[in-house]
Chain A
């Protein structure tokens, strides 16, 4: 209770104090309020700022990461394109190099080949030389040929001349025109005259000319009467006369065969044998089959049809003494010319049918 009494004594103090403190507090209220507001203001600001800072920091972080991400992508792309461009440049340069080489090669080989042209011109020059040489040789040959022919012709002419002048040949008694005694040796013409045979009578020339047209000689009109008064006999038709005149040689068989016909035939046979016979053994089929065969004659016949030995194995008896010294039997007979000209003569005399 003491405390209570103390407390009630203090009560007035306390009330005063209370009112004092309230008055002081009331006086300081504005100031303290403002201070508190200030402090709160500051503190809230800091708070918000810290919060904003936090937000900013996070946003920056996100943006940073994002930007880094996209930039790296871009960068990678750029690196790729740069690499690609580098590669393309490189390839282009290499392609240019290839094309350069190829174009040079192509032009030099196909469009204007200097060495081929050079070779061609050299070839042309060589060919020209060859041709020139060949043509010259050919011309030489031709010239020589012509000269030879001319010389031969001249020879021929001179020979014909000599033939015609054969009577000018000099004799022992009388020297000819070309063999003057004052010359050292006879003239060339004289020698030619000695060499050449005199020309025989002009041979009947076989007409290589066309046969005169016989229809001219036989107009199919009325013939004029003959010019001669006395008829001269039945004439042969002109065609026959012509045929007779121009008939070629018809030698008989004996004349036509040459003298050595037999020898020639033997030679021919020999040659043939030499050519064709390859094996010397004759072909004997089934060699033993016919060796001992005897011909067995028919019962109905009486004459033996064997092979007679005479005529094949031996011809005649041994040569007798009376035949010794005599000439052998001739196998060639002289021909008789009785029927050579039968039917081939111009006249019909003797053709007794």
Chain B
């Protein structure tokens, strides 16, 4: 080997070393967000692109890794990747190269697809789906994980993309991935199935047809928290669409094992379990019955007690759905001590949408029979609901729900001590119902009549102005006819003196008690 030959080859050596170093440094810098702006301004995309076609495989892989990290950061860079025509090259080499390169290429695809539906569509358009499906059939679990993640990101955005992913035949392979021993792979496969199934009932049915539910159910007992999050999220996305699918999820015998996960230390696992239970109970009374029989209501009530903030929402909605189906189930919710817990939630939570959900749940529980209304009234929830309805700062939705709940409970409530405070503060449309209830109960109960007078309720009723002939006037007449005339028509001052004097005249009270209304 002559000197000049060696010198020539030396030049190439130096260049290769320089390229390797450059690409490795760029990849390392791209891990920190503050560098990415500078990198972008320095034109890193145009420099990295030819390195993808480099002769040395290590440089290719590191260049792909760097590109992936850049595209991951924000969507401008991802668009630059798409516009720079890099995707077809990546897709082509996805089919050919070794597994490190496949992992890096799948990472780039996933980073590009995650930002918006258009970018995901661009990824699909360059034929990435077939290449990703082939990668899913590889042996190496790292490659499978990267491919599954990319497919999940594509399918996440809308139903059309999900349909495209499903048409490429991905779902059976994902179900196989769930059965693999590596936890990261299971996680990603479960998350991808969740993203696919969430858009429409047909997609959920496709996922179910490949037997995904049984495998997802087996994974529930795994101790890894993030995996459980994804699995429960997948099951709830599947179960939310139709009754049949929800029944199949329940038939997979996930209860009572899923209830044990309600005590998991990870907050999101608990939230996802509660979401799953909510989606199941939403559909029919029979499904709610199954959940109640297995003790799910008690578990959810305890969950509401343990958690705070936004994660309570699925639990509250679940109690509402269960109670809405029939009065048996509402009574079961009451027996499981759900009502005091809901009152605590109403007290503690500040967000409007959670309060609206709580008000709705109360309405569903209390609207069936007087027993139910009494259970709701006893926890002193009427004043709070009234405040929510009247508060100007509450959102529209909250006001509407609070009013509906109040109305539906009041129409069945016969528990007078809870109704009395409402006499003083309620606006006229609520007052109508309160008076109506009084007029139904007072004619039959003499003790209640006595109490009504001594607590000043009768006086308040007299003060109400109502048009003659309206419904309120009729109710007021009905109440007045329960009492002897002197009481009713006596002057205000007489009444005032009598009322505020310490010993309310016993004789008067005796008369009231013995008076029989016609």
Whether both chains belong to one complex is answered with: yes
Q: Which residues of A contact B (CB under 8 A)?
A: 117, 120-121, 124-125, 127-132, 134-136, 138-139, 142-143, 146, 213, 215-216, 219, 221, 224-225, 227
A125 close to B12 (CB less than 8 A): no
Residues of chain B contacted by A135 (CB below 8 angstroms): 259-260, 262-263, 299, 302
A-B CB contact pairs (8 Å), 11 listed: A117-B331, A120-B332, A124-B293, A128-B298, A128-B335, A131-B256, A135-B263, A142-B264, A215-B98, A221-B55, A225-B1
Query: How long is the Cα–Cα vector from A142 to B263 in the complex, in angstroms?
Result: 9
Residues of chain B contacted by A134 (CB below 8 angstroms): 260
B292 close to A224 (CB less than 8 A): no
A-B pairs, top 9 by smallest CB distance, nearest first, are: A131-B295, A128-B298, A139-B263, A127-B295, A124-B332, A128-B336, A125-B335, A121-B335, A135-B263
A163 CB to nearest chain B CB (Å)? 30
Query: How long is the Cα–Cα vector from A215 to B256 in the complex, in angstroms?
Result: 51
Residues of chain A contacted by B335 (CB below 8 angstroms): 121, 124-125, 128
Question: Is B268 part of the contact surface with A, judged by Cβ < 8 Å?
Answer: no
Contact with A along B87-105 (1 / 0, CB 8 A): 0000000000010100000
Contact with A along B287-299 (1 / 0, CB 8 A): 0000011110111
CB contact between A138 and one of B6, B263, B292, B298 (< 8 Å): that residue: B263
A224 close to B295 (CB less than 8 A): no
Question: Is B378 part of the contact surface with A, judged by Cβ < 8 Å?
Answer: no
B263-303 interface (Cβ within 8 A of A): 263-265, 292-295, 297-299, 302
Query: How long is the Cα–Cα vector from A227 to B259 in the complex, in angstroms?
Result: 66
Query: How long is the Cα–Cα vector from A128 to B292 in the complex, in angstroms?
Result: 9
Query: How long is the Cα–Cα vector from A128 to B336 in the complex, in angstroms?
Result: 7
Question: Is B57 part of the contact surface with A, judged by Cβ < 8 Å?
Answer: yes
Residues of chain A contacted by B508 (CB below 8 angstroms): none
Question: Is B13 part of the contact surface with A, judged by Cβ < 8 Å?
Answer: yes
Q: Report if A142-B293 is in contact (Cβ < 8 Å); known contacts: A120-B328, A128-B336, A132-B302.
A: no
B315 CB to nearest chain A CB (Å)? 14
A321 CB to nearest chain B CB (Å)? 73
Contacts A121-B335, A124-B336, A143-B265 given; 18 further ones with Cβ under 8 A?
A117-B331, A120-B332, A124-B335, A127-B293, A127-B298, A128-B335, A129-B298, A131-B298, A132-B299, A135-B263, A142-B264, A213-B98, A213-B100, A216-B98, A221-B55, A224-B12, A225-B1, A227-B13
Query: How long is the Cα–Cα vector from A203 to B276 in the complex, in angstroms?
Result: 49
Q: Report if A219-B57 is in contact (Cβ < 8 Å); known contacts: A124-B336, A225-B9.
A: yes
Q: What secondary structure prevails in chain B residues at the interface with A?
A: helix
Residue of B nearest to A229 (CB): B6
Query: How long is the Cα–Cα vector from A225 to B3 in the complex, in angstroms?
Result: 12
Query: How long is the Cα–Cα vector from A215 to B12 in the complex, in angstroms?
Result: 21
Residues of chain B contacted by A143 (CB below 8 angstroms): 265
A80 CB to nearest chain B CB (Å)? 53
Counting chain B CB atoms within 10 Å of each CB, the highest count among A120, A124, A132 belongs to: A124
Query: How long is the Cα–Cα vector from A143 to B263 in the complex, in angstroms?
Result: 10
A146 close to B256 (CB less than 8 A): no
Query: How long is the Cα–Cα vector from A226 to B259 in the complex, in angstroms?
Result: 66
Residue of B nearest to A129 (CB): B298
B58 close to A216 (CB less than 8 A): yes
B9 close to A125 (CB less than 8 A): no
Residues of chain A contacted by B1 (CB below 8 angstroms): 225
Residues of chain A contacted by B256 (CB below 8 angstroms): 131
Contact with A along B1-32 (1 / 0, CB 8 A): 10000100100110000000000000000000
Residues of chain A contacted by B264 (CB below 8 angstroms): 142
B296 CB to nearest chain A CB (Å)? 8
B295 close to A128 (CB less than 8 A): yes
Residue of B nearest to A226 (CB): B1
Residues of chain B contacted by A225 (CB below 8 angstroms): 1, 6, 9
Residues of chain A contacted by B295 (CB below 8 angstroms): 127-128, 130-132
A121 close to B331 (CB less than 8 A): yes
Query: How long is the Cα–Cα vector from A215 to B336 in the complex, in angstroms?
Result: 65
A116 CB to nearest chain B CB (Å)? 10
B328 close to A117 (CB less than 8 A): yes
Residues of chain A contacted by B98 (CB below 8 angstroms): 213, 215-216
Residues of chain A contacted by B292 (CB below 8 angstroms): 124
A128 close to B297 (CB less than 8 A): yes
Counting chain B CB atoms within 10 Å of each CB, the highest count among A134, A146, A227 belongs to: A134
Query: How long is the Cα–Cα vector from A219 to B265 in the complex, in angstroms?
Result: 50
B384-403 interface (Cβ within 8 A of A): none
Residues of chain A contacted by B58 (CB below 8 angstroms): 216
B262 CB to nearest chain A CB (Å)? 7
A121 CB to nearest chain B CB (Å)? 5
Residues of chain A contacted by B299 (CB below 8 angstroms): 131-132, 135
Residues of chain A contacted by B56 (CB below 8 angstroms): 219
Residues of chain A contacted by B100 (CB below 8 angstroms): 213
Residues of chain B contacted by A146 (CB below 8 angstroms): 265
Query: How long is the Cα–Cα vector from A120 to B292 in the complex, in angstroms?
Result: 11
Residue of B nearest to A216 (CB): B57
Residues of chain A contacted by B298 (CB below 8 angstroms): 127-129, 131-132
Residues of chain A contacted by B265 (CB below 8 angstroms): 142-143, 146
Contact with A along B238-258 (1 / 0, CB 8 A): 000000000000000000100
Q: Report if A131-B328 is in contact (Cβ < 8 Å); known contacts: A121-B335, A125-B336, A216-B57.
A: no
Query: How long is the Cα–Cα vector from A336 to B331 in the complex, in angstroms?
Result: 87
Query: How long is the Cα–Cα vector from A132 to B294 in the complex, in angstroms?
Result: 11
A224 close to B328 (CB less than 8 A): no
Query: How long is the Cα–Cα vector from A127 to B299 in the complex, in angstroms?
Result: 11
Residue of A nearest to B56 (CB): A219
Residue of B nearest to A118 (CB): B331
Residues of chain A contacted by B13 (CB below 8 angstroms): 224, 227
Residues of chain B contacted by A224 (CB below 8 angstroms): 9, 12-13
